[in-house]
């Protein structure tokens, strides 16, 4: 595709091998961006990129929790389409649910390392590349969660990281405004992806009953909002935390 609102832009999406990340790659490519699908699981990232075609997409392996890996990803991303991505979507994320009194330190550390530290590392290193290349119209979109604003038992680690992503986004937006880089985050409700598929059926049914629209969300319904935030249509949206939950609170 040569036209589209994101034509001429390069986007990098983490967690691109599954769920919301994969749907985001599809919609950013639909809107004309060249898309680098990045994931810890290279095979799944390759599947995403192959679906979009070699002219429009490339795959890259990254572990967002490792500074070395993220630095290498920046160098690799620059080579893919000969320019730094001006759109970055932090969709890599994990859960390790469990009640607090029994939560192993390892489960807290892993969730923190991917969800919050990973968002920090990818944002920092890719923003540096955008600034060095003096790219215009940068947009970073982080995946928080409505869980940041709920008191879900068994998700102390996950909820804390997703609340952290909101504050992180607000500060980054404030610091990067002068470079023309906007930073926003989305708080999805319960979306039909592999992350939610592992929940017990009874929990999923409870969520659906509490949700005003009476169903889980689709990954594309989050990706549409990400595509909007990535584009110049959202030029005045900065530091925002947008709930996309079907009305679930």
Catalytically active residues, by annotation? 158
Return the residues of window 50-89 that contact ligand NAI according to CB under 6 A: 62-65
Out of 91, 123, 157, 238, the only residue in the binding site for ligand NAI (CB under 6 A) is 91
Sheet holding 57-61, edge to edge: 57-61, 34-39, 10-14, 87-90, 138-143, 181-188, 241-244
Using rule CB under 6 A, residue 176 touches ligand NAI: no
d(CA 91, CA 12): 10
Using rule CB under 6 A, residue 13 touches ligand NAI: no
Query: In 3-state terms, what secondary structure has residue 34?
Result: strand
Using rule CB under 6 A, residue 39 touches ligand NAI: yes
Structure tokens at 192: 């039909």
Query: Smaller CB distance to ligand NAI: residue 125 or 135?
Result: 125
Helix axis angle, 219-230 to 19-30, nearest 10°: 50
Using rule CB under 6 A, residue 143 touches ligand NAI: yes
End-to-end Cα distance, the chain: 38
CB of 136 to ligand NAI, least distance (A): 27
Return the residues of window 99-128 that contact ligand NAI according to CB under 6 A: 114, 118
Stretch of 4-12, 183-191, 205-213, 235-243 lying at the interface with ligand NAI (CB under 6 A): 183-191
């Amino acid at each position: 595709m040569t036209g589209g609102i994101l034509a001429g832009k390069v986007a990098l999406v983490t967690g691109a091998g599954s769920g919301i990340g994969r749907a985001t790659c599809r919609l950013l490519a639909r809107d004309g961006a060249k898309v680098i699908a990045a994931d810890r699981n290279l095979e799944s990232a390759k599947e995403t990129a192959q679906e979009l075609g070699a002219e429009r997409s490339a795959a890259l392996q990254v572990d967002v929790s490792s500074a070395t890996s993220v630095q290498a990803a920046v160098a690799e991303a620059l080579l893919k389409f000969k320019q730094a991505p001006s759109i970055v979507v932090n969709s890599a994320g994990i859960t390790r649910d469990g009640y607090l009194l029994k939560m192993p330190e390892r489960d807290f550390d892993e969730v923190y390392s991917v969800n919050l530290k990973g968002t920090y590392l990818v944002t920092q290193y890719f923003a540096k590349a955008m600034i060095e290349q003096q790219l215009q119209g940068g947009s970073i979109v982080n995946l928080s969660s409505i869980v940041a604003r709920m008191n879900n038992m068994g998700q102390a680690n996950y909820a804390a990281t997703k609340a952290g992503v909101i504050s992180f986004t607000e500060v980054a937006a404030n610091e990067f405004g002068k470079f023309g880089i906007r930073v926003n985050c989305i708080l999805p409700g319960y979306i039909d992806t592999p992350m939610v598929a592992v929940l017990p059926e009874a929990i999923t049914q409870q969520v659906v009953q509490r949700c005003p629209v009476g169903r889980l969300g689709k990954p594309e319904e989050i990706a549409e909002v990400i595509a909007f935030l990535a584009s110049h249509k959202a030029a005045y949206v900065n530091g925002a935390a947008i709930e996309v939950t079907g009305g679930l609170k």
